Amino acid sequence: MKFDKPANDNPIDQLKVVGRAHDRIDGPLKTTGTAHYAYEWHDVVPDVAYGYVVGSSIAKGRINAIDSRAARRAPGVITIVTADNAGRLGKGEMNAATLLGGPDIQHYHQAIAVVVAETFEQARAAAALIQVDYRRERGAWDLAKEKPAAKPDESDPGKKTGDFASAFAASPVKLDALYTTPDQSHMAMEPHASMAAWDGDKLTVWTSNQMINWCRNELAKTLNLPVEKVRVLSPYIGGGFGGKLFLRSDAVLAALGARAAKRPVKIMLPRPLIPNNTTHRPATIQHIRIGADQAGHITAIAHESWSGNLPDGKSETAVQQTELLYAGANRLTGLRLARLDLPEGNAMRAPGEAPGLMALEIAIDEMAEKVGMDPIAFRILNDTQVDPSNPDRPFSRRQLIECLRTGAEHFGWNRRNARPAQVRDGRWLTGMGVAAGFRNNLVMKSGARVHLDSKGIVTVETDMTDIGTGSYTIIAQTAAEMLGVPLENVVVRLGDSDFPVSAGSGGQWGANSSTAGVYAACVRLRETVAKKLGFDPDEAIFIDKQVRAGGQSIPLTEAAASGILTAEDTIEFAGLEEKYQQSTFAGHFIEVGVDIATGEVRVRRMLAVCAAGRILNPKTARSQVIGAMTMGVGAALMEELAVDTRLGYFVNHDLAAYEVPVHADIPDQEVIFLDDTDPVSSPMKAKGVGELGLCGVSAAIANAIYNATGVRVRDYPITLDKLLKGLPTLT
């Protein structure tokens, strides 16, 4: 099915199941421990062995020799795989580094060997016996130091509209400032894990991966196999945040280990290995310049960002929201990429917009202060209903002003004192902050297969994944709505490459695209059922387990009385993205308290007002947003992968030292969804929301801290040392 125009008479608009709050149908499986995660397929294949990955102990250089003799003699050891005996390997298109290093080392903790043994403990003990002789080389590990040598990112060179330089020079009000964001880690609760089994020349991998088809294709390329010889399964994922978008070393080494051991092998990356062995959000240095007239209209805006990566890596696209969020005739954006020998930088929840808004939305507050305007009024004044660089391309829906006004009224913004450091609550300085949220609405081709049996049970099959977001539930809601059955009559099967290829979970495109794919398959099945019952498919109505048309009503089950009916289709998006800019918007409101003596920051209240298309399930959508808001607290106040710029690695590479928010850090969180049904986005009229909930939160916290203390911090995270010197005198 091609989606190239808004659909009329859309059965999804009945909203008997879709759009209503439902508990996650996979919840009971997860809370009872019967949902199998990647490392828990204990009874699928017999005689499973365990692999333990050895990571490089240098960050750049070359392996002279690996001595594995003692390890091979250790109890329980079956085999050891290194680059020397793994055979010829290919390299996928989505990895900047090779997933089995040697002899060249590209980054610290790059996998260089896997030890396979009868038990996990035996594999771990033997791995400690491996001796590696390295030739260490000096690498580039400091973004600030390498910034002057950074080059424009050829894959995303940026955009120019009008004459920024002249307009900025002529602006009576100017801001010219640098902002920095640090390297960050996904730190998903479930570690990267895989189990691999060979049946002749056919490989099956149970893994934790957000994009089944990407993983399958990349694994086939890496192992030099025909793609049809590879099957990937990932029905339950314990969090990913982008860290499991791509094939990683656990899956490759499980496959190599299983081939060498001639038996199934399972591997889990230990927590201390994950931040350096997998991917992370790259640090940025962002230069923002804004010019405005005395009335507050933006006349010139420039946003340039520097980030680093391995030679085959890409930039953190931190400027993309600035291309679309505010008006201004003269514009300049650009990305610069420095070569760094740190582990690969890649997607982390809301790549681009999350770190970009951490800088931009502080800058917007600073400009509002310079022109003497309330920060909400300044944002509203500079709103745009069209792509600023292409006025002929309007937004399909844009309710940023409504998000800000609704949030201001609900949060009590009128009680905010515009002068910083004026409000005290005992020893606490209190303040409020705001930021706009923005995330583009991306859509992806997505397919599904739907079955109807004689009992009226509808089974949906698609390789879509659920990373804790509620995919099972919204897919079931879609099928139930389309075929007129209760939710309990729908069975959803996900995460298997034998199923039709879906959008996968990433980029905030998963919910909208995958349910649209299920919609397309259900349209096909409706046609089959209607014809089977002698109805005109265009007139048939599916409701209450019945099919009705022309004054007749026949039970749905009769259509499948003689056997299961099956239909399959794929949604393809064509054309509308050229006519319309599709984006999602939010207003984030924060109240903080800052201890006047210690600089301790406590977030007191949080509100997100979101305009993100039709909300398919308000309960699961709210969970996504409050989880994202929590990540925003972490990014603002604590999260940072500390780089050892002498030896080239992330020092705090575990959950003991990499700080993330805990329950005690998170106050009351409130989420308001505006009615934003968007017929241009898909047949579902939905958009994404899981990343929008993060975009802007950290800047709102920074702005609230400034309002509370008068201390403007432009370098994240906002730690005590950055506040103490500027705090008002304790009285």
Angle at 237 between CA 262 and CA 128, to 5 degrees: 50
Q: What is the DSSP string of 56-94?
A: PSSSSEEEEEEE-HHHHHSTTEEEEEETTTS------TT
Which residues does residue 204 pair with via DSSP β-bridges, in sequence order? 197, 231
Whether 362 and 521 have beta carbons less than 8 Å apart is answered as: no
The kind and range of the H/E element at 50 are: strand 49-55
Pairing of the two strands 265-268 and 49-55: parallel
Q: What is the DSSP string of 276-342?
A: HHS-BBPPEEEEEEEEE-TT--EEEEEEEEEEEE-TT-----TTGGGGTSS--SEEEEEEEEEE--S
CA distance 428 to 596: 6
Nearest to 520 by CA among 574, 450, 616, 453: 450
The per-residue b/e assignment along 134-159, b for 16 or more CB within 10 angstroms, e otherwise, is beeeebbbbbeebeeebeebeebebe
Locate tokens 């998903």: which residue?
188
Nearest to 612 by CA among 352, 403, 383, 327: 403
Whether 679 and 612 have beta carbons less than 8 Å apart is answered as: no
Question: Helix/strand/coil (H, E, C) string of 162-195?
Answer: CCHHHHHHHCCEEEEEEEEECCECCCCCCCCEEE
Whether 713 and 632 have beta carbons less than 8 Å apart is answered as: no
Q: Is the peptide bond before 717 cis (omega within 30 degrees of 0)?
A: yes
Task: Please count the CA atoms within 13 angstroms of the CA of 493 that sit on its side-chain side.
Answer: 14
CA 80 to chain centre: 35
3-state secondary structure of 571: strand
CA distance 317 to 607: 26
In this structure, what are the phi and psi dihedrals at residue 275, rounded to the nearest 5 degrees?
Answer: -60, -35
Whether 263 and 48 have beta carbons less than 8 Å apart is answered as: yes
The kind and range of the H/E element at 305 are: strand 298-309
Nearest to 514 by CA among 440, 567, 571: 571
3-state secondary structure of 117: strand
Catalytic residue list: 691
Q: What is the CA radius of gyration of the chain?
A: 27
CB atoms within 10 A of CB 593: 23
What spatial distance separates the first Cα and last Cα of the chain, rounded to whole Å? 69
Q: Is the peptide bond before 486 cis (omega within 30 degrees of 0)?
A: no
**CA distances to 268, 328, 379, 443, 698 from 360, in Å:** 39, 14, 12, 25, 11
Nearest to 379 by CA among 404, 359, 352: 404
Length of the chain: 731
Token reading at 513 = 């695209």
